[in-house]
Amino acid sequence: MTTNRRQFLKRTGALTGAAMAGTFGRLGIESASAQTVTDYKALVCLFKFGGADSNNMIVPDTDYAQYGLIRTAASQVALTQAEILKFTAARQGGKSFGFHPSLALLKELYDLGKLAVVANAGTLLAPIDMAQYKAGTMRPPNLFSHSDQQMLWQGLLPGDIVRSGWGGRLADKLVAKNAGQKVPTMVSVSGTQIFNSGRNTVPFVVPTSGGVLLSGQGADAISTARYNALKTLLGTGGGNQLFDGASEILNDSLTSAEAANPYLTPTLPQIITDSFTINGTLVNTGLANQFKQIARLIEARAALGVKRQFFMVNIGGWDTHSNILTNQNNLFGQVGPAMRAFYNYTVNAGIANNVTTFTMSDFNRTFIGNQSLGTDHAYGGNYMVMGGAVKGGDMYGTYPTLVLKGPDDTGSNGAWLPTTGVDQIGGTLANWFGMPAADIDYAFPNLANWSAAQRNIGFV
Amino acid sequence: MHANTGPFIALRLIQRLVTGNPTPAYVQRVAQVFNNNGATPPVRGDLKAVVRAILTDTEARGAVKSDPSFGTLREPVLMITGLIRALSGVTDGSALGDRAANLNQRPYFSPTVFNYFQPDFTLPGTSVLAPEFTIYNSNSAVARTNLVYNLVYAGIAPDGNLDRATGTKLNTIQFEQYAADAAMLTDKVSEMLIGGPLPAAARTAVMTAVQAIALSATPTAQQKTDRARMAVYLVASSNHFQIQR
């Protein structure tokens, strides 16, 4: 049974400002059934906000003619066959494809078998065919809407009044494995997203650089009195849920901050500086800096008492209704080095096999370009999974037929009906994470709509 | 003319003005005023009448306010301006946009066309609607507390790059006359910030911290200032102020 908020806050109200390591209201409750794990594993979600056009992230090479028929040079949304970075995919019948030219650093990982592509994935409530889609059978609500699809990718529970994300729900179940942890299982450098929020757990949100610091803290009597009063006040809400909700977030934050801040100082550990130096330059983009925060916390995993962790980072700007080529050069130019530097860190830290990074986005974009040299909201797209444990060097799922009004087009502009669901991706990752079947069902209620064989698609 | 428009607007405006969790009946009463403002001839969409209906509804006043799900977290821009006003502050306005941005609400820069909040955002693990919590997380919660601290204890220095800048300064001097009486000081501060006394345990907590600041036989100016600031900081940063009920 979880401790309810009131009991928790009464406890915290009675304590002074002394460190309260590990005594969260939402943690450490299921010790009776705690399963011990000896190894460390982390999942890192990179969300590309805006709906990333992944028709230009993974371009057909063998079937380039199909691509080039619509994405012509004149359209100014097309990549040339010469510039894509080519690879073959055994699971796609040995056909060859190419990465966006700015993803050379990730293509290297594909060639090393440490990166996999998941083709034509998207939000589904169940596997459906085109006839069912057009009949509206089990069709996800509000497709093509940014806010709804971001929520669906992250939450996988459309219409649920209690908002939670599958990352958060997995974190709900990981409490036992992280007995004695000093920071929450879920850490976000992305603010509070649905993905991070569980039914019983909230994320620890850290800024892009530095730690979570409270002004006016000090060792002198008056500062101590002030801090103690602040904490006591958090428990005086008289049962108002808004009050208690806010108090819990702040109190959890202060407690986590006490533990994590020593590891979040602006000074970079040498191993992270080395890993994030590519071709002699320290990678310093916003996204790279988010990954550095994660690296800092992973470095401190023993001290922070975590064995299973979730992280979330994000990069926005993908809603390329115009000037897609220029915009994507910039965006992929950030994603490639940042993801690669982070992978390099896991190698240098000896935990490449213990950390898996995966990408998500609201949706793919229309195959045909628009008048503004961009593309518009669409549906199924291609995503990446990266890590030492990934069975990489291949493309999972089924690459769509790039034909307008063709067998995979839900409309007439090239919005592909996904053949792989987000639940399947999440289920596969949760399996690798060692979650038992009951916990996977809890996190992914819709996964039951797929056959047993389809619930783990095997890329990791 | 869609039947949904009245309830849609009513809910959103109630959430902004009164509480995130109106009862369906409250929403309906307001929606009816939207549909027909009761004038002769009747007007649909009279927002002045709608706002009046929202603020004068029984659910915005009186006993229902003790419902556990009643209330709304002050959004950063309104929290900052409200605090400055309540404390007779003066500001040239510069830098406040940056301060609000730290709390995830840079004015005029909502991250998407969907504005800053999700109207159906709920408190984690509950079905209690709390749109303002969309941008309230473990990082911004601390940032909010720190902003109150900095405004109360330091203010914002004038920007040297701005002509005739004066910065931002809150006033606590109006409470210094009560510094020797921790109870009176606490009550005067809470009266100004939340319109009445704090609940007993909260009141005691503030008084205890105030009393940690010793007073000489004749209290010095600094001691009085420190006590006034302590009370103001604690009340203003507490959820008694931050959650508007």
A377-405: pLDDT as tens digits: 999 999 999 999 999 999 999 999 999 99
Q: What angle do CA A213, A217, A221 make, to 5 degrees?
A: 170
**pLDDT tens column, B9-22:** 999 999 999 999 99
Question: 3-state class of A407 per DSSP?
Answer: coil
SS3 B138: helix
- Measure in Å the smallest separation between the Cα of B229 and chain A Cα atoms: 11
What pLDDT score does A16 carry?
Answer: 32
**Residue A160: its pLDDT value, please?**
66
Q: Do A250 and B141 touch (CB under 8 A)?
A: yes
* pLDDT in the model for residue A3: 40
Cβ neighbours of B133 in A, within 8 Å: 192, 245-246
* Strands lying side by side in the sheet with A85-89: A58-60, A95-99, A85-89
A-chain residues within 8 Å CB-CB of B145? 214-215, 230, 250
CB atoms within 10 A of CB B6: 21
Q: How many residues in total does chain B contain?
A: 245
Q: Closest Cα of chain A to B175: distance in Å?
A: 18
Contact A409, A441 (CB under 8 A): no
Query: Which amino acid is present at A128?
Result: I
SS3 category, A27? coil
Give the model confidence (pLDDT) of A53-66 as tens digits. 999 999 999 999 99
HEC string of A86-116 equals: EEEEHHHCCEEEEECHHHHHHHHHHHCCCEE
User: Please, are residues A364 and A122 in contact by the beta-carbon 8 Å criterion?
Assistant: yes
Is the separation of the CB atoms in B138 and A197 below 8 Å?
no
Helix axes B221-237, A221-233, angle to 10 degrees: 30
CA terminus-to-terminus distance, chain A: 33
Which pLDDT value is given to residue A4? 46
What digits encode the pLDDT tens for the residues B65-74? 788 999 999 9
Query: Looking at the complex, does the CB of residue A452 fall below 8 Å from at least one CB of chain B?
Result: no
Mean pLDDT along residues B190-213: 96
Query: Average pLDDT, stretch A142-162?
Result: 82
A186 touches chain B (CB under 8 A): no
| CA nearest to B232 within chain A | A226
Place of tokens 């028929």: A69
Using CB atoms, pick whichever of B142, B198, B209 lies closest to residue A226.
B209
- C-alpha dihedral (A272, A278, A281, A284), degrees to nearest 10: -60
| A37-57 pLDDT per residue, tens | 679 999 999 999 999 999 999
Query: What is the rounded average pLDDT of the residues B190-207?
Result: 96
pLDDT at A295: 97
- Closest by CA to A208, choosing from A136, A154, A288, A279, is A288
- Residue whose C-alpha is closest to residue B179's, from B239, B231, B139, B240: B231
Work out the pLDDT band at A411, boundaries 50, 70, 90.
very high
For residue A129, pLDDT beyond 70? yes
Average pLDDT over residues B189-217: 96
The confidence score (pLDDT) of residue A209 equals 87
How far are the Cα atoms of A433, B197, B205 from residue B85, in angstroms, in the given order? 52, 19, 25
Q: Do B124 and A246 touch (CB under 8 A)?
A: no
**Record: contact B239-A239, CB cut-off 8 A:** no
The answer on pLDDT for A31 being more than 60 is no
Instruction: Please state, in angstroms and rounded to a whole number, the distance separating the CA atoms of residues A460 and A127.
Output: 21
Report the percentage of chain B scoring pLDDT > 90.
78
Verify whether the Cβ–Cβ distance B242 to A246 is below 8 Å: yes
Which residues, at least 6 apart from B222, have a Cβ–Cβ distance to it below 8 Å? none
| CA closest to B118 among chain A residues | A147
Angstrom distance (rounded) from CA A160 to CA A129: 25
Q: Do B141 and A253 touch (CB under 8 A)?
A: yes
| Mean pLDDT calculated for residue range A343-359 | 98
- CB of A143 less than 8 A from some CB of B: no
Q: Let me know: does A194 contact A154? Beta carbons within 8 Å.
A: yes
pLDDT at residue A452 is higher than 80: yes
pLDDT in tens, A12-28: 333 333 333 333 344 33
Contact state of A253 with B142 under an 8 Å Cβ cutoff:
yes
Spatial separation of the C-alpha atoms in residues A212 and A206, rounded to whole Å: 6
Cβ of A199 under 8 Å from any chain B Cβ?
Answer: yes
Mean pLDDT, all residues of chain B: 93
Token pair of A405 as six digits: 């009004």
- Nearest-CA distance from B124 to chain A in Å? 6
Distance CA B130, CA A398 (A): 41
* CB < 8 Å to A246, chain B: 73, 133, 136, 141, 239, 242-243
Flag whether pLDDT at A127 surpasses 60.
yes
pLDDT of residue A19: 32
Mean pLDDT of chain A: 89
Amino acid identity, position A131: A
Mark yes or no for CB contact B111/A203 under 8 Å.
no
pTM of the model: 0.80
Contact B123 A245 (CB under 8 A): yes
Give the contacts of A460 (CB within 8 A, at least 6 positions apart).
Answer: A116, A356, A385, A387, A389, A390, A391, A428, A429, A432
The pLDDT score that the predictor gives to residue A22 is 33
Cβ-contact A410, A130 below 8 angstroms: yes
CA distance A322 to chain B (A): 17
What per-residue confidence (pLDDT) applies to A230?
A: 97
Report whether pLDDT(B41) > 50.
yes
pLDDT at B213: 97
Residue B91 bridge partners (DSSP) = B168
Q: Inter-chain contact A236–B73, Cβ cutoff 8 Å?
A: no
Q: Tell me what the mean pLDDT of segment A305-322 comes to.
A: 94
The Cα–Cα gap between A244 and A226 comes to 20
Q: Does residue A330 carry a pLDDT above 50?
A: yes
B112, B226, B243: residue with CB nearest A242? B243
- Tell me the pLDDT tens digit for each residue of B120-170: 888 877 889 999 998 888 878 999 999 999 999 999 999 888 899 999 999
pLDDT of amino acid B177:
96
Residues of B in contact with A198 (CB under 8 A): 124-125
| Average pLDDT estimate for A288-304 | 96
Instruction: Please report residues of A whose CB lies closer than 8 A to that of B71.
Output: 240, 242-243
Query: Complex ipTM, two decimals?
Result: 0.94
Integer angstrom CA distances of residue A217 from A12, A148, A213, A226, A260:
18, 41, 9, 8, 16
